[in-house]
Structure 1
Amino acid sequence: MEATDIHGRELNELSDAKFAILPLGSFEYHGPHSPLGTDIFLADGFGNKINPELGGVVFPTVPYTACPGKTNKYKGTIPIRPSIIQEYLIDIVEGIVNQGIERIVLLNAHDGNMGISRAVAEHITGKHNSASFLLLNWWQMVEIDKADELGMVGTKGRGHGGPYEMSATKAFQPHLVHVEEDDTEFPDLEKLSPHPYILVEGTPGSWDGYTGLIQQTSLEMGKKIVDEATGNLNTLIENWIKK
């Protein structure tokens, strides 16, 4: 159910929803082969892939947000200051809670939304003890070791604008992803440690506003990624609702 389609005389459909889905995107440069609305298309796409039988209501995707320094410098990116988007999201989520919906999925398609989403969820649950948030990054809905099975050889391909992200985008918008033969490719860099870590740099290595072996981008792989992510996404939400 789309929140935008609900009429004023049918507002009970909002309060009766089991949970809300708020997709989070960005308007950001993803390389010469990729649309500026990549994260919007992914957020919209996966939001609409959530099984309607689970009883959720999908709110409009947030299109503008904070973008990291490494993409701010590229023409096409429209960044919002982190403090502004955090306050904006607080107001949106507070408004959803005020409709009587206390379970909210923040369905994220942009790396820069991760910290902000967590801060917003923590703030709202501090004010509303019965509120519950599920913070989901779509790209984490497929196991890392499935890269070879999906056709990404020699790279995990999960970087910004890389074959993983752009194949998924192609599955939703096949006419908007165009990799050309002379587009530069960037191999994975050697990891600093096998343990999880976050490295923030203004100009990363193996990077020009995007990364990865982008010639591996394909519609076939994108459909596999989207199907796998969708199945795992719906299973997770179903388990959360039952909890």
Structure 2
Amino acid sequence: MDGVNPAQRSGAAGGTPGPAGPAGGVLGGAGGLVPVSRVPGGELAAVAAAADFAVLPVGAVEWHGPHLPLGTDLILAEGFAAESAGDGSAAESAGDGSAAESAGDGAGPRGVLFPAVPYAACPGQTRPWPGTVAIRPEIAVGYLADVIEGIVATGFSRLLIVNGHDANMSTVRAAMEWVSGRRTASLLLVNWFQLVTPAETTDIYGDLPARGHGGAYETSGVLGFDPDAVRLDAVEDLPPKPKLPVSHPYVLVESRPDPWQGWSGHISLADEAIGRRVRQLAGARLREIVAAWVAAPSPAAPTADPLPTAGPEGA
């Protein structure tokens, strides 16, 4: 499993560059995405000028249990990234379980898709399990900062980062903050997992917990994009990690809680129909966020000049 969305494997995420030049041919007049890997170097400046934003998927190669592929987080990050532009026709076309034919056939913002960042810092609870490829957090932050700054320097002042791996939220955020103090940029980070609320997953799955690592919710997400990569019959339900009996926010990091097999959850709750529902719901919200973001004013350069005045003029 290479973690590549079938829609991207066929080149459908952005279509085929046309002969009419970068703005009219590569991006076209309608919303959608084009892979930067297919943009000729001589046309890059024009493509960047015509695009509303660039998008960078970030995932991980990590154990999610015997039932999910090691590229789970990549499948989800790349899959939702491919649906960040356009009008949602890609998700709708998957209603019969087939791969999306296009993410760019409808109206909406126009974007340029960069290759995914496949490796990430991974928690101690998954690093011992087979297939997890983890990099040190300090390396991850520096690497991500270089990638983000490189994309901005290429001419894309607006960059959407679509995340499929929870541990990336801290490292990507740190890298974004660093770059925003060096470059004029609007950097937007969206975690697909948060696009469907806990109340909604309760409505979908019932009262049994579904949002654990490798659990029914994450399994459904993969089923929505690549059902052939999932083995629902490979595991039995495993109760999720216990939570503290308090309502206050906290962060608890443990080496190996009980029960835990590098994943947890009631996998029997997941199926392809729910996967398509999760994909459509989360994808629609991602496009709503992107539409509001590209319509917002661009930021100023990162400078403190001029400084605010201490009082009324002439004081």
Q: Sort the TM-score into its range (normalised by shorter chain).
A: over 0.9
Which of these residues, 186, 193, 200, is aligned with residue 139 of structure 1?
193
Partner of 2:21: none
Q: Tell me, what secondary structure is at the counterpart of 2:160?
A: strand
Distance in 2 between residues matched to 1:67 and 1:181, nearest whole Å: 24
Matches within 5 A, 1:73-88: 73-88=128-143
2:42 is the counterpart of 1:9: yes
2:272 is the counterpart of 1:223: no
Structure with max Cα Rg = 2
Partner of 1:202: 255
Deviations 1:185-243 (A, max 9, x none): 21462444223322111112332100111111111111111100011111011111111
2:82 is the counterpart of 1:48: yes
- Unaligned residue ranges in structure 1 (runs of 5+): none
Distance in 2 between residues matched to 1:203 and 1:67, nearest whole Å: 14
Cα–Cα, structure 1 residues 181 and 9, in superposed 2: closer, same or farther, change >3 Å? Answer: closer
Deviations 1:135-183 (A, max 9, x none): 1110111121112332x12224111100000111011111111122752
Write 1 or 2 for the structure with the bigger share of helix. 1
Partner of 2:162: 107
Cα–Cα, structure 1 residues 159 and 187, in superposed 2: closer, same or farther, change >3 Å? Answer: closer
Which of these residues, 139, 160, 171, is aligned with residue 116 of structure 1?
171
Cα–Cα, structure 1 residues 46 and 182, in superposed 2: closer, same or farther, change >3 Å? Answer: closer
Larger mean Cα displacement after TM superposition, 49-58 or 102-111: 49-58
Partner of 1:93: 148
2:26 is the counterpart of 1:26: no
Native 8 Å contact 1:155 1:187 kept in 2: no
Native 8 Å contact 1:170 1:218 kept in 2: yes
Aligned amino acid, residue 105 of structure 1: L
Shift of 1:96: 0.6
Distance in 2 between residues matched to 1:131 and 1:68, nearest whole Å: 30
Aligned amino acid, residue 159 of structure 1: G
- What TM-score does the superposition give when structure 2 sets the normalisation length? 0.73
2:119 is the counterpart of 1:64: yes
2:236 is the counterpart of 1:236: no
Native 8 Å contact 2:220 2:270 kept in 1: yes
- What TM-score does the superposition give when structure 1 sets the normalisation length? 0.94
Aligned amino acid, residue 90 of structure 1: A
Native 8 Å contact 2:240 2:260 kept in 1: no
Q: Tell me, what secondary structure is at the counterpart of 1:69?
A: coil
Shift of 1:105: 1.1
Cα–Cα, structure 1 residues 127 and 73, in superposed 2: closer, same or farther, change >3 Å? Answer: same
Aligned amino acid, residue 230 of structure 1: G
Distance in 1 between residues matched to 2:60 and 2:245, nearest whole Å: 28
Larger mean Cα displacement after TM superposition, 52-61 or 226-235: 52-61
Shift of 1:101: 1.0
- Unaligned residue ranges in structure 2 (runs of 5+): 1-33, 87-107, 297-315
Native 8 Å contact 2:208 2:266 kept in 1: yes
Cα–Cα, structure 1 residues 7 and 216, in superposed 2: closer, same or farther, change >3 Å? Answer: same
Native 8 Å contact 1:21 1:47 kept in 2: yes
Deviations 1:13-72 (A, max 9, x none): 024322111110000000011100100111110011112431221111111111110000
Aligned amino acid, residue 170 of structure 1: L
Partner of 1:167: 220
Shift of 1:90: 1.1
Shift of 1:184: 4.2
Cα–Cα, structure 1 residues 13 and 142, in superposed 2: closer, same or farther, change >3 Å? Answer: same
Cα–Cα, structure 1 residues 87 and 221, in superposed 2: closer, same or farther, change >3 Å? Answer: same
Aligned amino acid, residue 153 of structure 1: G
